[in-house]
Amino acid sequence: MKKLMLLLALISQGATLFAQKSPNADLEKYVINDSVLIKTPKGHTLSAVVVRRRDVAGPQPAALLFFIYSDTKRSLTEAKYAADHGYVGVVADVRGKRLSPEEVVPYEHDAEDVYWVIDWISKQSWSNGKVGMYGGSYSGFAQWAGLKYKVHPALKTIVPYVSAIPGMGLPMENNVFINVNYGWAFYVSNNKYLDTATYSNQQRWRNLNESWYQSGAAYNKIDSVDHAPNKWLQRWLKHPGFDKYWQAMIPYGKEFEKINIPVLAFDGYYDDGQTSGLYYLRQLAKYNPRADYYLILGPYDHFGTQRGGEPVLRGYQVDSVAIINTKAITFEWFDYIMKQGKKPGIIKDRVNYEVMGANRWDHAPSLDKMHQSMLRLYLSNVKKDDQFRLSPQKPITPAYLEQEVDFADRTTSNNYAYPFPIIQKDIYSNGFTFISDSLKQPLIVNGAFLGQITAAINKKDFDYSIVLYEVMPNGEYFELTYFLGRASYSRDISNRKLLQPGKITTLPFSNTKVVSRQLRKGSRLLVIINVNKNNFCQVNYGTGKDVSLENINNAKTPLKVKWYNSSYIDVPVSK
């Protein structure tokens, strides 16, 4: 017994000693500086963490993560991962975060600051003059922002995941301000690190959504309902269009022409901000046709893309082949670009995407070449059981379906388009539902659907949604994708053009999400179109004023919409 007790004591003591030595073990393995201060030419200060391996002699390339989610422990983990994979790991904080003495200002300074962080790295004795950037969401945005004015000669590649575009994907979607991002400003700007307690108080945000909706208050008064001023929301609300304020944050128009470094982007079919991430690539291809870019796209959401997917996504059993390791591929790519290593095996062409339901990866030279043809389907007024026919034939006789929405009535809501869960046994809508004939053979929906809505309203504006489903042979509904938009910005997201009451208007829509899904024989396509009125986003009362200034006093007259049967969607398909 004494021997056993002695053995247990030694084991316990050893465990304690091991725990105590862990930090020292890190110091034996790495050169760690977690308090770096970087000065820009204009006198601004940013902080960073830098980690190198002690057993590596001579200069190395650097892997840079630039982010707003300041957390020293996480920064060290990221930087050590880079060091273990042959790079100097650098994690830099947004100006105003962590050790920076300045004010936190989301988005506005990153185009300038990223460049100078790269410049600082390139001048260090441990740098071989090569820098690669990586990271997701805000960090994805920051990589593109850093290319706005000029590409630093030391920057050899960027690897953005689910890249955000302020003013386009958040805090609004197609010019409609959405509440899901409301608490984010507090999360990143309440202190030098993260206000996790506030942000994770989901009950507060749910209550706020409902309290604001029931109050009928204007959207710019939502922080009054919350009893906590949200200065960043108030600043953003002054820019309802994608104007020069937002354009100053990212490469815009011809500024893409000068981007000649290789780009590897990751995104997901169910990433809420996917249109932002792909906007960068589309603009790059438009303004620089010879650009060297690649995309990996699969059945992932915003966070899943950054990891490489998960076996079950919102109730959908993901194909096994779709599960990847985003960070491992990132560093393989760095080796390929900066060390003449092998290109990651998953990259066979510019666009590399997993076909849901087929359990395979396909490849295409561009987003537009993912599909073989467009299947045009009209939103007819012909009854099909308790729905309407989604018809491949253009209607001969003009007709319409009429919808009335009372914005003063807060006992009801219109439009629930979000794909959660992805597969549903039943769907409910107080909009109009259109269903196609059954497929006579399998078909792949491959790309981003688009179309044109023809409508007339009794007001000057309205918000609407279009949801696209596969009705599977077993009768369940698989949500493929959806569109949410504002009619007055349908032709130009930067400039608003109000509708004329009573006049028939065509509303093109194209800023939609890419999806790839194998449809089986016997499946049908289903479309739901609806006015948008709920507690998840702005309520557009249709007066023509700034929507954020409208309130329930502007709801005296219900909205009346005539949805014309010449409206159609174009679904990208392959066989």
What does the block give as tokens for 245?
A: 């304020």
Percent of the chain whose pLDDT exceeds 90: 94
Give the separation between CA 457 and CA 411, rounded to whole angstroms. Answer: 23
* Together in a domain, 412 and 465: yes
Alpha carbon separation from 384 to 160, 436, 531 (Å, rounded): 45, 9, 22
Give the separation between CA 479 and CA 468, rounded to whole angstroms. Answer: 6
* Together in a domain, 179 and 233: yes
User: What is the C-alpha R_g of the chain?
Assistant: 26
The neighbouring-strand residues paired with 45 are: 39
Alpha carbon separation from 463 to 13, 419, 554, 555, 556 (Å, rounded): 66, 19, 15, 15, 18
Cis omega (within 30 of 0) for bond into 240: no
Per-residue pLDDT for 17 more than 50?
no
User: H or E segment at 232?
Assistant: helix 231-237
Give SS3 for 53. strand
| pLDDT score recorded for residue 20 | 40
pLDDT digits (tens, 9 = 90+) for 441-462: 999 999 999 999 999 999 999 9
- Dihedral sign from CA coordinates of 265, 270, 272, 274: positive
| pLDDT score recorded for residue 10 | 35
pLDDT digits (tens, 9 = 90+) for 237-283: 999 999 999 999 999 999 999 999 999 999 999 999 999 999 999 99
Per-residue pLDDT for 21 more than 50?
no
pLDDT digits (tens, 9 = 90+) for 74-96: 999 999 999 999 999 999 999 99
* Together in a domain, 268 and 132: yes
DSSP character string of 87-137: SEEEEEEPTTSTT--S---TTTTHHHHHHHHHHHHHTSTTEEEEEEEEEET
* Together in a domain, 138 and 76: yes
The neighbouring-strand residues paired with 50 are: 33, 90
Alpha carbon separation from 200 to 69, 83, 222, 354 (Å, rounded): 14, 32, 19, 33
Q: Give, in degrees to the nearest 5, the angle at Cα 375 between 369 and 378.
A: 145
Per-residue pLDDT for 18 more than 90?
no
Per-residue pLDDT for 59 more than 80?
yes
Q: Does residue 521 contact residue 401 with C-beta atoms inside 8 Å?
A: no
pLDDT digits (tens, 9 = 90+) for 113-125: 999 999 999 999 9
| Residue 11 one-letter amino acid | I
The neighbouring-strand residues paired with 91 are: 49, 65
pTM: 0.95
Around Cβ 252, how many Cβ atoms within 10 Å?
Answer: 15
| Residue 243 one-letter amino acid | D
Give the separation between CA 459 and CA 538, rounded to whole angstroms. Answer: 17
pLDDT digits (tens, 9 = 90+) for 526-569: 999 999 999 999 999 999 999 999 999 999 999 999 999 999 99
- 265 domain residue, yes or no: yes
- 449 domain residue, yes or no: yes
- Domain, as residue range, for 179: 172-237
Give the separation between CA 396 and CA 49, rounded to whole angstroms. Answer: 66
* Together in a domain, 92 and 213: no
Per-residue pLDDT for 9 more than 90?
no
* Together in a domain, 334 and 391: no
Per-residue pLDDT for 308 more than 50?
yes
490: pLDDT confidence band, cut at 50, 70 and 90?
Answer: very high
* Of the residues 334, 353, 368, the one at which a domain ends: 368
- 477 domain residue, yes or no: yes
Q: Does residue 217 contact residue 224 with C-beta atoms inside 8 Å?
A: yes
Give the separation between CA 461 and CA 293, rounded to whole angstroms. Answer: 38
Q: Does residue 155 contact residue 129 with C-beta atoms inside 8 Å?
A: no
Polymer length of the chain? 575
Q: Does residue 184 contact residue 199 with C-beta atoms inside 8 Å?
A: yes
- 450 domain residue, yes or no: yes
Around Cβ 297, how many Cβ atoms within 10 Å?
Answer: 25
* Together in a domain, 151 and 283: yes
* Together in a domain, 185 and 204: yes
* Together in a domain, 76 and 176: no
pLDDT digits (tens, 9 = 90+) for 331-390: 999 999 999 999 999 999 999 999 999 999 999 999 999 999 999 999 999 998 899 999
Give the separation between CA 387 and CA 138, rounded to whole angstroms. Answer: 42
What one-character DSSP code corresponds to residue 247?
Answer: H
What one-character DSSP code corresponds to residue 410?
Answer: T
218: pLDDT confidence band, cut at 50, 70 and 90?
Answer: very high
- 1 domain residue, yes or no: no
| pLDDT score recorded for residue 22 | 56
- Read off the CATH number of the domain in which 358 is found: 3.40.50.1820
- Average pLDDT, whole number, for the chain? 96
Around Cβ 26, how many Cβ atoms within 10 Å?
Answer: 13
Q: What is the dihedral of CA 421, 427, 431, 433, to 10 degrees?
A: 110
- 6 domain residue, yes or no: no
Contacts of 289 (CB under 8 A, 6+ apart): none
Contacts of 2 (CB under 8 A, 6+ apart): none
- 492 domain residue, yes or no: yes
Give the separation between CA 372 and CA 206, rounded to whole angstroms. Answer: 43
* Together in a domain, 186 and 231: yes
Q: How many domains does the chain have?
A: 3
Per-residue pLDDT for 2 more than 90?
no
Give SS3 for 190. coil
* Together in a domain, 277 and 146: yes
Give the separation between CA 190 and CA 198, rounded to whole angstroms. Answer: 9
Give the separation between CA 53 and CA 470, rounded to whole angstroms. Answer: 51
- Read off the CATH number of the domain in which 458 is found: 2.60.120.260
Q: Which residue has the tokens 């000068």?
A: 258
* Together in a domain, 80 and 111: yes
Contacts of 178 (CB under 8 A, 6+ apart): 170, 171, 172, 536, 537, 538
15: pLDDT confidence band, cut at 50, 70 and 90?
Answer: very low
* Of the residues 368, 384, 410, the one at which a domain ends: 368
| Residue 289 one-letter amino acid | P
| pLDDT score recorded for residue 415 | 86
- 7 domain residue, yes or no: no
5: pLDDT confidence band, cut at 50, 70 and 90?
Answer: very low
* Of the residues 347, 368, 389, the one at which a domain ends: 368
| pLDDT score recorded for residue 23 | 66
